[in-house]
Structure 1
């Protein structure tokens, strides 16, 4: 039996909303636009929008038209308990994001890679947001934290930070996907919080102070890692890696220091062997943080 035209239109708009192409507050195509695009009667286009309105995906705004409704951020249960089919979807989404960046990963792209219709994905993954939660959970779950108690708080913080860094290194998109101020409910990420809080327990910090230490650590690692995908994109667009780019732009930097206003930085531009190494920068910052925390915990 042929699918009704109104259902096809509703499915198309539903997919665009789930993909984020149409974000909350965005105006959706009017019935007039839909009639032109799909070659249907006004009544058919109206029925499609009515269906989405009944599902809570869109709402009418006086003087504006029909817009995408605000959606709940509560994760769908399937986001935390994927089955075999969902596993394939997550694997494919991660492979796309690893190779081309998070911006290229959409439900439509994943469906195309799997050779199935986009709407079929929603039988296993509730939305693109839920798929992203699954991807984050899978990425952070690839490296497990030690099962036994850490030998010290410093060791625990170092282990957690380096494990996170390794995950970000393996998946450059991951830092872009994470949020510090609106943390995602992901079990493999929460494991790091539990691990660090357990190590800090009994060392004189109250719960708020200990949690702030964990937040600072997570923020530091993510702050360095955020450059991984940015650099990968820049390299793909320019055809130059970081070292090649710096060499190509040395002369403009030297011209800024020629007047003697930046004598210390002039010494940097004179270096022939400076290696901008994110791994080394990460370790330098982490060691400094751990040194400071160790001193604080030992001498409150």
Structure 2
């Protein structure tokens, strides 16, 4: 892996060296029109830089017109390789095309483009300038629809949470309804891992479409004789189970980009440390359990979600159904 984490005296910053290398690959024909450009995470891994640096490099290439985003494909080489034009040398048609794109701009397009970036490259890769570059409009154009990145993220969260809806006819029984709601939330976090990084139990996101999910859970528990505090506590416990597991989806993606190692590779590189702990004699139960794994322990978040949800609802059943009796 090429390391670009520090700037050589008098040399260009790391992101410009990345831009120059990708530009060279395009010029030499290593990357042809339509070929995919490495993602932000792949650039961070290949060049040993932060995600923000990788994002800046891709944004620069987009602004130069060398690459473009294509739906369901990713970032690709835009056309015939060419050096970046000086401002006075830009084609006269470019401002006209840019104005046409701006006329087609809308809050929904901005939000959906931002969601695409966050899904593919993580929330840290998101910037107002990057969204504008992906849309092919002037950097300041997006600010006419949304005043800041923080406001954009709220719109993104609201749109994402609205992708799961509930049937008009609810299933029978409070437990079946709660399971339906919890699984809908888990699917959303699975699809958009960055969602779990937003808000906290003490400072929740106040967006309408998230509250739709909260309303579904609360309605499932209502009418069972629970005090308001008990009812809301149960709702928070169920939500925290979903979010608490989902938060590791984005963290693992960040860790893989930063270290260049998958989860399995990272564990393999620390096998000697694990063995030393197991053989120290200080943790006999841990050593027995770990030693019983024939092929190692497979951390399956989907399985953990289901097991945890079952255990949580089993434990809550006497409280919910006992009060109604």
Fold-level match, TM-score > 0.5?
A: yes
The CA deviation string for residues 236-272 of structure 1, in whole angstroms up to 9 with x for no partner, is 2333322232233222111012121111111233223
1:293 corresponding residue in structure 2? 316
- Find the counterpart in structure 1 of residue 3 from structure 2: none
Show the counterpart of 1:85. 106
1:209 counterpart = 2:230:
yes
Residue by residue over 1:218-240, the C-alpha shift from the partner in whole angstroms, topping out at 9 and shown as x without a partner, is: 11111110000000111223333
Spell out the pairing of 1:82-231 with structure 2 (5 A cutoff). 85-231=106-252
Q: Does structure 1 retain, via aligned residues, the 8 Å contact 2:198–2:205? A: no
Matched residues in 2 for 1:155 and 1:241: separation? 36
Which deviates more, 178-187 or 208-217? 178-187
Shift of 1:148: 1.7
Runs of 5+ unmatched residues, structure 1: 1-82
Partner of 1:280: 303
Tell me the distance in 2 between the aligned counterparts of 1:255 and 1:264: 15
Q: TM-score when scaled to structure 1?
A: 0.69
* C-alpha contact 2:221 2:320 (8 A) present in aligned 1: no
CA contact (8 A) 2:161 2:209 kept: yes
In the alignment, structure 2 segments of 5+ residues that lack a partner are: 1-103
Cα RMSD of the aligned pairs, angstroms, is: 1.7
Indicate if the aligned counterparts of 1:235 and 1:242 stay in contact, CA closer than 8 A. yes
Deviation at 1:99, TM superposition (A): 1.2
Q: CA deviation at 1:119?
A: 1.9
Cα offset, 1:187, TM superposition? 1.6
Number of residue-to-residue matches in the alignment: 218
CA shift for structure 1 position 180: 2.2
Is contact 1:250-1:269 (8 Å) kept?
A: no
Deviations along 1:110-162, whole A, 9 cap, x unmatched? 11211222321121113222211111111111111222223111112111111
Alignment-derived partner of residue 272 in structure 2: 251
Distance 1:95 1:170 in 2: 11
Contact 1:96/1:105, CA 8 A, preserved across alignment: yes
Normalised by the size of structure 2, how large is the TM-score? 0.64
Counterpart of 2:77? none
Alignment match of 1:235 (pick from 256, 265, 269): 256
Q: Deviations over 1:198-226 (max 9, x none)?
A: 11111011222211211111111111100
